[in-house]
Every structure is written in C-alpha cells, then in structure tokens.
Structure 1
Amino acid sequence: MGFSLIALSSAVVLIFIFSGALFPFFVFSGPLSTHSIRPPFIASYFLFIDQSGTFLVSPNGTFKASISGTKAQTSPSRYYFSITHVASDAIVWSANRNASMSNSDKLSLSVDGLRVANEAGKLLWSTPPLNSEIAAMQLLETGNLLLVDARNITLWESFENPTDSIVVGQRLRVGKSLESALSEQDQSVGDYRLLMTDGDLLLQWKRMTYFKLSMHEKAFKNSYGEVSFLAINDTGLYLLESDGSTAVIQVPLSGPSGFRIGKLGSEGRFVISSFIGDDWVTELFGPVDDCHIPFFCGKIGLCTRRPLSGTCSCPSGFRVQANGECIPTDTSLSLPSDCKSNANRNGSDQFNSSVSYLQLAYGMDYFANDFNGPMEHSVDLSACQDICSQNCSCLAIFHENASESCYLLEKHLGSIILNPRPENDNRGYIKVLVHSSPENPTGNNNNNQKHNFPIAALVLLPPSGFFLLITIVAVAILWLRKNRLSKTKNNAESGRCNSSSSAEQEMIDIPGLPRRFNHEELADATENFKTQIGSGGFGAVYKGTLSDKSVVAVKKITSLGVQGKKDFCTEIAIIGNVHHVNLVRLKGFCVHGRQRFLVLEYMNRGSLDRPLFGNGPVLEWQERVEIALGTARGLAYLHSGCEDRIIHCDVKPENILLHDNLHVKISDFGLSKLLSPEQSGLFTTMRGTRGYLAPEWLTNSAISDKSDVYSYGMVLLEIVRGRKNSSFQTLSHSRENSSSGGNGLSSSSSGSGARPIYFPLLALEMHEKRRYAELADQRLEGRVTSQEVEKLVRIALCCLHEEPALRPAMANVVSMLEGGLPLGEPRVESLNFLRFYGRRFTEISRLEGSSEQNQNGFGLINPTSNTSGLYNSLTCISSQQISGPR
C-alpha cells in the first residue's frame, strides 16, 4: 500500500511537470501564498477573480500584486496591473497607466520580460529589453517588484520606475519624477510632476515649476552639495548626497509611525501621509496655498485666497462659459488657441481679426512670474505687447512697471492669483483676437489694439502707388521704432531707483527689484516722517500708511556707506526676493539723492525687547518657545533656504519683530552690506551689536553663518531669563548661595542686594550642576519645568561654542527645538571663554559702580551712560584673553 501511494504521488508530480511543458501558459486560479513566480506565467482579472485579481503577495502579506479595476460613473471599469498596500488599499505603483486593461486582458511573464496585452494581442505595456533571462518575479516586503535572473541579480524593479507615489525604502533619483494621475478612476499621466533635480525637488505643471521643496516653511538646507536622491524614512523627508547620509535639504516629520507614503495627487499637490489604525494622517503637503496650484481655478480663473482654501471666479472683463472656463465678456473677442491655429498669419480668420490685450486689475499675479525670469528687461508696455503679438505661442504678458521687465506666458495658461500687495507691481494683459464684422470692419480698437491695415485697399492701387505707399509705411515704421527706442532708453536712464543725481543715471537694469516709491509718496504716507516707531544703527523707522490704506514701516537709512546706486539696488534686489513666513517682507524702496529708504511690512507689536524686557504682561514660556522657533526658522532660511545665502550679522531682540498672535519675523536681514564702516555707538567697527558678537569678530577670523548662530544663542538665553545677558539683578537667597565664586557675580555691588550678572556664564555653571529651573525668568513664578528650561539652555550653549565649527547649523537648531533631533551636549572646553567674559564684567562693574544701573527701571545697563563701558569691555578683549595662548 505504501508503495502504491509513493507511485501515485510520483505520477501526480510527473503530470504537473508534463502539463507545464506542454502548456506553458497554464495558470492557477487558487490562492497564492508565494512572493515569487517563475516564468512562464499568465494572469488576468478574470482568471483571479476569486482573489480580486491578486496573484502575488509580499512575504508578510503587507503588499500585493494584482490586476484591479477602478469604475467611473460614466465609463466602463479600467483595470491596471498594480502594487497595493493591503491594509490601506493604497496603490503604490501601476504598470499600464496610459493603457488600461479589460477584465480579460492578460499580464504575461516570460524569460524575456513582463508585458501587458489585450485580447487581440496588442501590446499595452512592457518592461524594456533586459540584459539576461528572467528567472523569477518577486514582491518584496518593501513593496518593490523585482525581476531577477538565475543568480538573483535584479534586472528591473518598480522602485526605479516610479509612477505617482514613493514609499519608505524607495529612492527617487536625480532626473526621475513622479507623474500625477488624471483622477482616482483614470490613472493616465496627468499634467503635474514632481521632479528630482541635483539642487531641489520641484513641482511642475506642464513642465513649468510652481513649487520647490526648499520653499516649504519646515524645509531646511544643511549642505551645499549636489543632491543624489530623495528618500523618506521614519523621521522625515530628505534630499541626500551620493553618500546616502549627508542631507542637503530635509523636512522633519514628527507624526506617529505607520505605513508612510508620499503621493503626487491629481490636483497637483504633493502629500506625505501615514496610515495609522484605519485612518490616514496627513503629515506634510505642498503647496499649502490652493492658489499656488497652477490650474486650481482653470484657465484664466481668478483664485482668491481664503483662510482654509481658495475661491474661484473670473477676472473683470471675463465670464464663465458652460465648461467652467473664463472667456472674454465681449463676444467680438476670443482667446487664441495655439500656434497651429495662429501661425498662419495670412489665414482667412486673420483677415477679420487683430491682436489686442485685455488688462487685468491691479493685484493680480501669475505663478510662473516667481520662477521664470522676464523675457526682456528695460522695455515699456507697448514693446512688451509687440513681443507677445509676434510670438504665436504667447498667450499673455505681465509687465513690471518699476523694472520695466516683460514676462511672457507661453503655450499654456493657468489660473490667475489675486495678490493685492503693494510690492506686487506686475500688471497682467491677456492676449485676445478681435474679430471684425461688416458693421465694424476694423474691429474693436480698445485695449491697446494693434491695427491691421486694410489689405483689400492695396489690391486696388496701381503699381506706382503701391510702391509709394510701401515706402511711406516703411519710413513711418522706422521713425516709430526709433522714437520708441529713444523713449525706452530715456526711461532706462531715468533709473529704477528714482534717482535725482545725474551721476547715477548710468545704472544698468537690475532684474528682480521690488516696487519703487518716490520720495513724495513716502513723505505723504508718513505725514512728513512724523511718527517715529524705532531707531538703530541703520537709522530711524517711521510708521506710514500708503494710498491703498496698507500700513508700512519706512526705514530711513542714515548710516549708508560710500556706495553707488547700482550696488544699493543690487542688494535690494536680493533682499526683495527673499520670502519666508519668519522674515519681514521688503515691500519697496526709494532713492532720493543720497538718501535711501526701505518700505517694510508693519509689525504692530514692535520688537521682542519690549515684551521681553519691559514692564508689560510677562511672556509665557510657550510663547517664548514659539518666538525662539520662529526666529530660528527665519535664520535657517537665510543661511540655506534662499538662493543667495545671507548672513544677518546683527541678530538681537530689537531685530526680532512681533505681530498679532506673536507671529515672529526677523528684520534688517541682508542690510549689513549697506552700512558704512563708521557706525553709530551701538555698532562695532565691523558689524553687529555689542553683547551679541561672536568671538571671531574680535580675532579677525573668518565670518560665516555660524556667527549668526552665536548671536542667536545669546538671544535665546535672554528669552529664557527675560533680561539682558549683562545686567544687574536682585537674586534670591538660594540663588545667591549657589552663585558665588568666579561666575560673574560680585558680592560688593551696591544697591540692596543687586548683583552684576553675566548670564551666559551663570547658564554654563548651572548646566554643569544640572540646575536649570533657577535660570528661568523669575516672573514666570514656576510656570515652567526644569526640563523645558534645560532644552533651551542646552541649545543656547551649543550655539555659543567658541569654535564656529562646533556650533550647530540653524537648521539643526530648528530640528532640536521641534524634537526632530536629540539635544546637543555643550562642550565645556569650548565655553571656557565665558569665564573670562564674566570676570571682566565683574571687574568693570566694581570700578564703575552700579548707581546708574539701580536707577534703571528694569535693572538694565544704560548703553548711553558711563556704564556702557561694561558692554565695551566685552568687545575689547584680545584673542589671548578669550582662550589663552594659541
């Protein structure tokens, strides 16, 4: 009996082997538990209908390969060969995106490749030619589909051929892209793509960039190396160099762990989300603003920003037609379609139409203007329109009045953005065709129309008259062009900076300048500079109200160096193009003779020093943390996020401005180059403010963005304490007992127990004793924990390291504040110079006394009194005094 069973089993095996040889396309319709399939193999949805089209699963069942269908309301079901995350039912990769299958079309695996074909044998999709024969198709636990040879060498993989999604473990290499689908039902490639370049991650619509990863408020640039690939892991999204560990740009993700996927949606937004339990949690998306999605409102649709979304309408002069698109209200006008229909200027339609332009209202902008430079510089509006009229692919223009820059919108038109800000000096014009009629043979002549000469009249002229007319027309055209060129030249020579000095009128055009104001506008806005709201090393700041009722801050720069208009405008062009939520926006500028003015957005709560050091309501701890984080984000963007790296050189509370809800913005960034070497008393002979200067300023060492990091560390300590770092303060008995010795405190100071405190040294000593709670602002009265204080103090001390290389980059400071990176450990050997600073502060305080300090309502040193020597003492220490013999 046993022998019979063995024989029967052998016979069954032989039958299967024999059937496989005779019928190479024999398939199994039962459940498959393997993650590997060998060729030959055929699958279709119909053959595996009991398993919902599934024929391959990953080892732990996390992913499945299947032929699955999507059903649209008005069309038959579409079937795709896809890789799906089982728990969430999210498709992470699709094969035949542009050629959907029916339920009986087949996927076949042979030794030559993987292919999808319909019932008639027409090829719908296939892998490219491979280097060797396929031995197996495998689905890994990461969701990667592999074709391998007999030696298990990968011949092809889905991770290297992405569709619209990327998952943890996958790399999007430079030159690769994600392509959006048309819709959830139709996986055909749409108009949006996420392109990986060697410098940034770009979102594009019809190959036009509208968003960069570096623009996201949570993105930080850590390196200036070339990007090799994008990767997502449990901590964030990273653009990494070829070594796989150096992050050029990173975006921390602090959401809960789970299946994480990045997907480019059909609407044009890149979203990273995690599947937690049975729900999706969105962790990151960009662009955040609906109106920054190029086709959010359709062709020429006007997108108006709202708190949670954007609303769509048509611009003035346009109406909505049945398909939802905006078309000219005037029925004699139409939008040009494309070059094919407009290239033949002698076509019959052109006999009865001419080119004109419909003007958009002020405050309207277009996404491409921020990413594509102007086509022409120093051209007036009429010349800009001429350029567009002669280009069949041009559909609209934007003309910037201040710089006379001409932007062409070619091939495709997206949505218009309502951007009613004073700095938006662009004016848009939509190109239209004016159709003539028997009652109006010359067409509509409004809106800067370019007239067509009645060609029929030429046919009736005799040859001599014809040539005479041609000569007259040619002479007229030459005269008009000469006159226009002369006008353009005069406009250019008059200066982009409203120059009143003839010596400065040779300045060439500088692209990217913000709005230009004339002196009369600023005098009217400020009521002849009546209300001064601030002052500093750069000059006085006045409150003003522009003609559009927007409130601004007008900074009159009085310490400008010996610098020509071109240099000034070059710096302003750079500053004006730096945009970040934590940086004060430069709205415009003015040059009036030798005077320079900057027009900035108004921050109604003033600078940080007022609530931090003043007698008003005390800043709560969480408010201080948010201020510290916003400041760090702004500095990180200046150092690594914008195109031109900017070192602030004067980070201090007076340059950190607050708006409603304590919205934080850094001011005066990038202006250090505009200062003369001779500064006011608040500035050193170099750059920066006493008390915040990094040691390298005093030792003639190289200045870098790490100098800003040092200044930020000093500001962070003042945020913790609520007082200036060098000041007098009455200490509690317990704190007095714990703070004796060479720590910058003097028991001989006068005035009811007031002691001179050099707080950075006190912070270092309390850190060594792990006694952080004593460092917090006494006015908080215990409303902060020791752990919360420790976090800010340790970060601040790391920023104060004497060696710049040991200080963290501002991007890493942000990550530490947000919790994305562990806290750094201050290196005491690189902070010993603070002990010299503290002793010097104590020595000077003994000599100069403290009577004037005690008269100060806040216990602060008055910089205008004799006690300013206490500040000076900390900026006149030699390199040997700082760190000993070298």
Structure 2
Amino acid sequence: MGYFLLFPTIFLVFPLVSGLTSSGLVQPNFNASYNAFIGNNGTFLFSRNNTFRAAIFSPGAQKSFYLCVIHAESNTIIWSANRDAPISESGTVSLTSKGLTIADEDGKIRWSTPPLKSSVSALLLTDFGNLVLHDRSNASLWESFHYPTDTIVIGQHLPVGASLSSAVSDDDLSSGDYKLTITTSDAFLQWKGQTYWKLSMDTKAFVNANYAAEYMAINGTGLYLFGNNESVVVIEVFLPLSDFPIAQLGTSGMFTVSSYTSDNWLQEFSGPDDDCGIPFICGPIGFCKYDSSSSNPICSCPSGFHGGLQNTSGCLPSDGSYSLPVSCNSTNKGSRSDPSAFSYLWLGNGSGYFSNSFSQPVKYGVNVSFCKNLCSMDCSCLGIFYGNSSGSCYVLENELGSIMSVDPTDTNLAGFIKVLGGSSTTNFSGTTSVSGQRQAVPVAALVLLPFVGFFLLVALGFLFWKRCGLSKSKEKISGRCNSRSSEDLEAFYISGLPKRFDYDELELATDKFKTQIGSGGFGAVYKGTLPDKTVVAIKKINNLGVQGRKEFCTEIAVIGNIHHVNLVRLKGFCAQGRQRLLVYEYMNRGSLDRTLFGSGSILEWHQRFDIALGTARGLAYLHSGCEHKIIHCDVKPENILLDDNLQVKISDFGLSKLLTPEQSGLFTTMRGTRGYLAPEWLTNSAISEKTDVYSFGMVLLELVSGRKNCLLQSQSHSIDDSASGGGGQSTTSSGSGLVYYPLFALEMHEQKKYLELADPRLQGRTTREEVEKLVRVALCCLHEEPALRPNMVSVVGMLEGGIPVVQPIIESLNFLRFYGRRFTEASTVLERNDGSTSFPLANASRSTSDLHNGFSYISSQQISGPR
C-alpha cells in the first residue's frame, strides 16, 4: 500500500523540480514551460506506449509556442490547444483541479479548458493520442479528441456539425481558410464558406446507405461516415491496411489520408484528386492547368490578365485602366450598385470555377447581359459564369479563387470577371435594369435561406444533443458516487478505458439479470436497457479466476478502443469487487447461426456474400488494422452478429486475452469450438492469426451450404452416392446420412460441380461462378499448414475482386479425407438433448496415420453462445 501512496507524490514533485518527463499522466498543481523542458524539446508527457508526446512546441523559427500532441516518431502535430493564441517560450501550461490553462509570460490567460463538472484528478495522454482530463472515478471530464484542429486519428470521431480547420502554414498553426465540415449527408471541403469537394463525389468513395450520417472516423482499413447509432456505414473509402493512418486537412486545402511506415508518410487518399480543384491554388484569378507529366499544377494568367506566379499573388487586369472591385462587407452585402460603373473581362474558352459543380445558378433562362447586370447591382458579386445552352447564371461572391482549366473546345460555359473602369459592356435597357433590380434581392434570399436554415437546424440539434448528454451524464455520475464503495473509489488510471458502470446500475438495467439471451464459456449474456433507453447486451463474466481488477481493466482498455464497423462495440464495463461485466451494443437479429440455420426467411446469395465480406473485414482489422493484434480464437456463426439490416459485427474478440495463466492449460477446450478448430490446436503447434483464417473458411462453407459442416445430412439436402465420391453414405430425400461437408466441398471442387454445394433452398438463385469463388476461397483458408493459408487482408482482396482467387493446394487438404472417414465411421452418433451432434476431432496430421485414441468432444454451446 505504501507504494500506491507514494505514486502520486512522485508525479507531483519530479516535473516541478527537475523537469522530468512523465509517462501516461500528470496530476494537478503541475506547471510546465518550454524553458523548463528545453532538454526534452518541450515534452513533458508521453503516452504509455511512447507513440505520442505532449509538448510546448514551436513548429517554426518565429518562436510561437503551442501546447501540442505530437506523433513522436514522425514529429507530426496531430492536435494543438492554443492554435490561435500562441505563447512565448516563457509561457506556462498549468494543470489544476479546475482544468488546463495556458498563460503567456505576463500571466495573461491565452487558452483554457471550459468549466468542468467535477474536480480534475489527472491529465492523461492515451495510447491513441487523446489528451484527457479525468476525475477520481476515472470518468472523462474533457478530451482533446472532442476539439479537433486539422487532424483526426484512430479512435477519434468527427461528429456532425464539427469541422477540421487548416493551419495557415506549417510554421503558423492559426486557423486557415479551409474547413472540412461533416453534415448528415456528406463531408464537405469549403473555402471561405464555398464548397469545392464532397466525399460522396470522389471516385474512391462508396455510398452504402441512405441513413443520416453521425460522424466521420478513420481506422486501419479506411475512412468512414457512420450512421444509425454507429451500425451503418453511410460512406466508405477503403484504403490499404495501416498501423498508423491520419486524416488531415493540409495548409493548401487538400484533405489527405496518409499512413506512416518505414520512417515515411505515404499518401493513400486525397480530395480533391486534382490540385486545380483547390480554390486558391494559383491565387485570385490565377489559371490552373494540370500537368499530367509532372503530376503538378501549372499556374498562369487568363488572356487579358498578367501576373500568375506559382503562389497566391494571383492575376490582375493587363489594361491598367481596369481595377478589381473590393467585395462589400457583411453590413452592406447585397446592396445595389450602378451597373454602368462596371465592365466585364472575358476569361476565354476552357475556363471553369471550383464552386460551379457544388452550387445552383441564381437564375435560369436569362441572357448574358441580364446575368452581368445582376452581378453589377450586387456589391458582393465579383464575377459570373454563364451557361449558353441553358441560360444559367452563376455568380462568384465575396472572394475570387483560382480559375480551373476545362475542355478548351467547350464554349458552353463563359466566365467573366467584374472590373471597375473602362467602357461599360452591359448595355442594358432601362426596362431590363429595373427588372434585374427587382429580382436581385429575392434571388439572394432564395439561394441563401435554405442553406442558412439547414445549418441552423444542424447546429441547434447538435447543441440540444450535447445538453441532453451532459444532463444524463451528471445523473449517472451522481448515482455512482453515492453507491460506490470506498474500495472502488480507490484511484487507478488506465489509458483509454471505456465507460465504467456500477454493478447496481447494470443490475437495474437488466431487471436483476432477468432476460438471458445467451451463454458461453466466459459467462451468461443478458439483455438490458440503460437509463437513456439504449438497449445493450451485458456479459456477466464468471470464470476469470484470480485476475485482478487492474489487469482486467488494462485488457478492457485495449478492447474498448477498437472501433470498426464490423466489430461489436464495447460500450462499457464493471469491475467492482469480484464482479466483472462487459456492456456491448445490442444486435437485433442475434447471431448468424439463428438466421442461417433457422427456419425463418432464407438468406439470399448477395446477403450471404455481404456477411462473408463483412466478417473478413472485421477479422482483417483485428489481425492487421488495430494497434494491438488480436487473435479471436473462436470464429463461428454464433459469434457473428447481425442487425436489422444484416450488417455484420463480430463479437467476443479480445476476450481470450482475459484468460489467467491458470487457464492457459485449457487452451484447446476454452479457445475453440468443435467444427471450427484448426489442426494446430490439436497438435500443440503455435497458434497465430492463421488459426482464425481456418475457422473463417469453415464459416464460409456453411454460408454456401446453409447447413452445419458437422451435422447429419438433413432430408432437404439430397446428395447421391456418386456425388459424394465414396466419402459418405448415400443420402436421399427419404432418409438421412452422415456427410462431412468440408470433404464434400473438396470433392465437388475437384469435379468442378460447384452448384452441388449451394444451399438448395436458394432454388437456383445463384450462379456457378459465384459459388466457385466462395468455395475456392474457403478451401484456401482450410489448408492444413498455416503458412499456406492466406491472411485475412488477402481474403478480403479476393472477395472484393482486387486480388485473383488462387487455386487451393489439394495436397494440403487431404487431411479432410481423414476427418471425413472418421466422421462417417462413427457407428454411434451422440444425439444431445439440445439437438446438437458431437463430432470427434482427432489429433491428426497429414503425414501421420497413427492417431491418438482420444477425441475432443466440444459442444458449440460450451464456449460462447449466441448473443
């Protein structure tokens, strides 16, 4: 106990006295400045995995300092607190019980966290780069992830209504002119309020659903917009697997996703994909043409203009008698001017403008003179684009960006820049001018009001949601503080823990654990409803032996920070006394086995394929996409859950890490299910992610056939003796027999009779090619030697079509013939009361005919039942 009492004191004293950099957390009454930590380049805090550091940092030579979170290896800033209020090297960062403050050397506060609901107990830097203020109950009071700057990383959400803002430059972190904004329908890039890119319009983006988006997130497999309470991917961009990807809005206005590998950043995605689509790439009126040979934009000036340097200086009229007007300010925007005071310079053929594709014309069916007059009477209008065929009038308002190069032979769209001086080119009659004046205000109102109303509704909705969330959070915290024992108030801090519940809260949510919806090796699963009406599945773990609370929480922190559309989300946990419970999102359709093998509606082929692909993506992420590799060890239909839209989510991932050393001897019986166990489980060989690949192959065959691999052949599945190749007994519609489906699949593959393998309930609603693809992928996953099995990333590639489907190696599948013989030779089939059939798996090897006499009888309900 003495060590725990000294622990806070160490963190309090050393940073203050010696400038010692801390790992993981610091506690209140902590002060830091760049000068105090100059030997550590301003760094005063590292994440526990040393991936990120918190520092008082100056990115350039101007000696402006910011509180930053930095990716340590690449020295990349992912967040800054006081980006618009830098301090000097003598400025201080202070942590008190009230929060964080940043003050300049004269003591003037430059930045601070907002008022908090309770006292701060620690400042943590998590392994994902999130700077978090915690109270004594380990509840989060404030997180840097909730206040993004120009970057998002794994584990961070960018919700609807939030935005990323570019920095002015690499040396100046102040908010720039570019924003990435998330709405319920899309992600938008905007320059000074004008849209120039949408995620849904990018060629790499796939729009999956018509649900309203809720937030953007990035992980090791791609960039996503999630909706429907995180259960639906609205828009997705698949990217190569990466351990550390970031999404960043750069200073130039380009939104990129990059991965860091081998000491280098590799750009995986960019929007817009053409640099000339960036509004200010060549400055005002600068003409941008893409050079395919160098993959760089070339800046010049349109005819009638001069300048055009490769920077933001832009172009001016070549005729010195002309000058560019200044846009009016917000107080007199839309005010009318004398049309005769302005002229218009033509931009020439092949000119376009970034906003034309993202805005509507202010007028249709008018002539070019009317369009010019409309612009002349509005001081906010600086130019027009006119569509000759449709009579469409686009106006360029407030700020002039760069001009895009389009097809020079296209004469339909003509661009004109408004200038002062020279002779008027409008030549409107008095009648037309009056008409234009009458319509200028209604046009502006019709264009602006819907957008203003939309954004106001989004903002009000977001504020209402936040207010309700804070109110409910206060109620829950109050309840926990009143009921928690002194033991559970003992402070310990684990980076990245999800929400902590009291046992009483979960007992109330489940009506004293009344409705059990599943059971398994780790315990029973109950349906519950939280106070905010969220329905959850609560797993009550009952066999963790002597594992301590802190060790349990350490593993839960890893599991809780894994977010992927195809993985069940861990919403919270309880570690109180000897009680250990996990709170998961609830999946309405239950597990795949109920839908696939039940008597309800038949899964169509495209639904089975989507389930297979979603499962493969989830496993690929566990193996390669998240920071801590996780081997599931129990992949089976009971652990593949479905929502109402048949969206796949894998459950029970990571729970194998909760086994204590005493339980490690139960590896085979505790970590797998009969019918899905890879051969290496039974030969005491090394276990790797390829074990999951084998289990996935078995699940894939069951998706094809619609039946269990290791059960009696049902009467509805007729297989004749010739088709079975002698490997099984004859089965007809009037009888039943023993068929080991994986062996049958191998034999049908050898004979190219793939349609024989398809679920007969589909009644021909699939093709030979579709079945062949899944069967070949499944057989590749079943290779006896783990090294010959593809990894899950390759499996995803083969299913998606990006990688050719390889031929299975027959020699490495011959062990299935032994399994099939042992299956059919069983003279007595043990029929259990629950209807399941025990199947013996021997300790077998392809190269060995002498086998152990004992068989492993492991029921699928022994490990983890359906949720």
Q: TM-score, normalised by structure 1?
A: 0.48
Q: Find the structure with the greater CA-based Rg.
A: 1
Q: What's the TM-score, normalizing by structure 2? A: 0.49
Kindly indicate whether structure 1 or structure 2 has the higher relative contact order, using CA contacts under 8 Å at least 6 residues apart.
2
